[in-house]
Amino acid sequence: QKEVEQDPGPLSVPEGAIVSLNCTYSNSAFQYFMWYRQYSRKGPELLMYTYSSGNKEDGRFTAQVDKSSKYISLFIRDSQPSDSATYLCAMSSPFNKFYFGSGTKLNVKP
């Protein structure tokens, strides 16, 4: 079993839709949870970070962590064509290496 599981998609939605991206994990020691965004032919860049459980909001983006279910989500409200990218979840325990999901490709159609 992989440490982190992520549905590869692709996910195609119309502009303005609410998008939900998800990852599950198996290691209960993970405390830091991150979402990276990767545009075509670019390296991934950090989008959002959350420590432990709870929600974090940044503009149209909300990151949610449920440690009891070992499940994290990224919600995108009012999705835009410019949100089209691959989204990767990542997590780690303190001072230890990252574990990344394989990435979900999102396409927002105008």
Partner 1 sequence: GAGVSQSPSNKVTEKGKDVELRCDPISGHTALYWYRQSLGQGLEFLIYFQGNSAPDKSGLPSDRFSAERTGGSVSTLTIQRTQQEDSAVYLCASSLFRRDRGYTEAFFGQGTRLTVV
- Under the binding rule (CB under 8 A), the answer on residue 100 touching partner 1 is yes
- Under the binding rule (CB under 8 A), the answer on residue 84 touching partner 1 is no
Write each residue from 12 to 31 as x if it is in contact with partner 1 (CB under 8 A), else as -, in one continuous string: --------------------
* Closest CB to partner 1 among residues 44, 83: 44
- Tokens (6 digits) for 104: 């979900």
- Minimum Å gap between C-beta 36 and partner 1 is 8
Among 34, 63, 76, 106, binds partner 1 (CB under 8 A): 34
Buried b / exposed e over 11-50, threshold 16 CB at 10 Å, is bebeeeeebebbbbbeeeebbbbbbbbbeeeeebeebbeb
User: Is beta strand 99-100 parallel, antiparallel or unpaired with respect to 85-92?
Assistant: antiparallel
Q: Could you tell me how many residues of this chain bind partner 1 (CB under 8 A)?
A: 24
Among 15-23, 55-63, 73-81, 87-95, the segment contacting partner 1 (CB under 8 A): 87-95
* Closest CB to partner 1 among residues 19, 33: 33
Our measurement of the distance from residue 58's CA atom to the centroid of its chain's CA atoms, rounded to an integer in Å, reads 13
Backbone angles phi, psi at 40, to 5 degrees: -55, 130
